[in-house]
């Protein structure tokens, strides 16, 4: 069964009771939230994701609840709880769905040790994956959203799950988080894209999430091999420039963008070093998405020519 098989009132009831288990790539999330806006956003963006049976193993239990006491009525709040703890400060109730998305990211990034985890977008074409780590404001998500609507497959917008055994990257395809001007840029670039309701005044500014294409979800169990590490940076008015980056510097920067590199110790270093060794590493400046798509497509064509 997939989420869209549930009627809206059934979804709201199961979600309010904490009786909704959603499968997302290699993880399962037990979700609990009494807020109608969250149920509506899930139905809009997660319609094609599997709903697991009661009694299935749950990796993470995520609860988004209303504020207590007078906060239930005045300046209403949404609170994320995990194993009885509140990892985040309460947010305004209207921020509940972005909070759920951030909470799911937090659960995986803070409690997963059977993958090397990088804070990175990952896209794939012809079995070859591009790892795109970047700090906030670099245009990473905008670039990712553009590319996955021009022939590339989304593996993840936020987390690269790298196998500790064979370096393969497991998809964790969830809605792409877009912020501020990027929302309108992608709306215009991909008119058919489906978005969640726009939420203003979050800690990240104005936020909306873009639905993953159904054909990408159909391949959510298909891993890819890392072939490129590309550090993107949006520069207004700039022509697309792809420049070689040293592997040593790339290794250091990827380590800074990893959630569990230090925890994994020598194994983490060895895996990361092997990833860099088998990838071509680049810096990439861009301003126009069409130019960026052409550059990325040329990478694939060039690789095919080498073989």
Domain match, 135 and 252 both: yes
The last residue of one of the domains, among 59, 81, 111, is 111
Q: What is the dihedral of CA 105, 231, 45, 79, to 10 degrees?
A: 30
Query: What distance in Å separates the CA atoms of residue 112 and residue 261, rounded to the nearest whole number?
Result: 11
96 closest CA partner among 83, 82, 79: 79
Count the domains in the chain. 2
Domain match, 34 and 171 both: no
Reported confidence tier of residue 295, pLDDT bands at 50, 70, 90:
very high
Chain mean position to CA 42: 15
The last residue of one of the domains, among 81, 111, 141, is 111
- Domain of 121 in residue numbering reads as 116-306
Domain match, 143 and 217 both: yes
Query: What distance in Å separates the CA atoms of residue 182 and residue 142, rounded to the nearest whole number?
Result: 6
Domain match, 160 and 55 both: no
Overall average pLDDT of the 113-137 stretch:
93
Domain match, 90 and 121 both: no
Overall average pLDDT of the 86-102 stretch:
95
Domain match, 141 and 276 both: yes
Domain match, 106 and 142 both: no
User: Tens of pLDDT along 233-258?
Assistant: 999 999 999 999 999 999 999 999 99
Query: What distance in Å separates the CA atoms of residue 254 and residue 55, rounded to the nearest whole number?
Result: 38
Overall average pLDDT of the 196-204 stretch:
94
The last residue of one of the domains, among 111, 136, 159, is 111
Question: Which whole-number Å values give the CA distances from 196 to 3, 10, 213, 306, in the listed order?
Answer: 16, 20, 14, 42
User: Tens of pLDDT along 220-239?
Assistant: 999 999 999 999 999 999 99
- Examine the pLDDT at 116 and tell me if it is beyond 60: yes
Burial class of 233 by CB neighbour count within 10 A (0 to 12, 13 to 18, 19+): middle
Domain match, 211 and 95 both: no
Domain match, 242 and 158 both: yes
- Examine the pLDDT at 304 and tell me if it is beyond 70: no
Burial 10-27 (b: 16+ CB within 10 A, else e): ebbebbbebebbbbbbbb
The rounded radius of gyration (Å) of the Cα atoms in the chain is 19
Query: What distance in Å separates the CA atoms of residue 20 and residue 14, rounded to the nearest whole number?
Result: 6
User: Percent of the chain at pLDDT above 70?
Assistant: 97
How confident is the model at residue 1, as a pLDDT?
Answer: 94
Domain match, 104 and 167 both: no
Domain match, 162 and 68 both: no
Query: What distance in Å separates the CA atoms of residue 52 and residue 268, rounded to the nearest whole number?
Result: 32
Angle at 205 between CA 238 and CA 133, to 5 degrees: 50
- Examine the pLDDT at 165 and tell me if it is beyond 70: yes
User: Tens of pLDDT along 33-49?
Assistant: 999 999 999 999 999 99
Query: What distance in Å separates the CA atoms of residue 159 and residue 258, rounded to the nearest whole number?
Result: 9
Cβ contacts of residue 69 below 8 Å, gap of 6+?
none
Domain match, 53 and 137 both: no
């Amino acid at each position: 069964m997939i989420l869209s098989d549930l009627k809206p009132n059934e979804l709201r009831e199961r979600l309010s009771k904490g009786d909704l288990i959603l499968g997302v790539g290699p993880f399962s999330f037990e979700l609990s939230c009494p807020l109608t806006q969250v149920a509506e956003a899930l139905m809009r963006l997660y319609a094609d994701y599997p709903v697991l049976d009661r009694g299935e193993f749950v990796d993470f239990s995520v609860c988004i609840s209303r504020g207590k006491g007078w906060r239930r009525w005045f300046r209403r709040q949404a609170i994320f709880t995990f194993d009885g703890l509140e990892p985040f400060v309460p947010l305004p109730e209207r921020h509940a769905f972005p909070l759920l998305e951030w909470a799911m990211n937090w659960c995986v990034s803070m409690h997963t040790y059977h993958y090397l985890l990088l804070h990175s977008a990952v896209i794939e074409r012809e079995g070859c994956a591009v790892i795109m780590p970047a700090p906030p404001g670099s245009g990473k998500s905008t670039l990712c959203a553009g590319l996955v609507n021009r022939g590339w497959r989304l593996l993840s917008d936020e987390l690269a799950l790298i196998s500790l055994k064979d370096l393969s990257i497991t998809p964790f395809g969830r809605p792409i988080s877009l912020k501020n001007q990027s929302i309108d840029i992608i709306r215009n670039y991909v008119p058919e894209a489906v978005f969640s309701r726009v939420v203003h005044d979050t800690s990240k500014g104005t936020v909306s999430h873009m639905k993953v294409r159904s054909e990408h979800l159909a391949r959510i169990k298909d891993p890819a091999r890392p072939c490129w590490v590309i550090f993107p940076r949006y520069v207004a008015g700039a022509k697309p420039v792809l420049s070689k980056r040293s592997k040593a510097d790339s290794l250091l920067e990827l380590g800074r963008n990893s959630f569990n590199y230090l925890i994994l110790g020598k194994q983490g270093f060895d895996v990361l070093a092997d990833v860099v060794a088998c990838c071509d590493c680049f810096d990439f400046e861009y301003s126009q998405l069409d130019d960026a798509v052409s550059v990325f497509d040329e990478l694939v064509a060039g690789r095919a020519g080498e073989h």
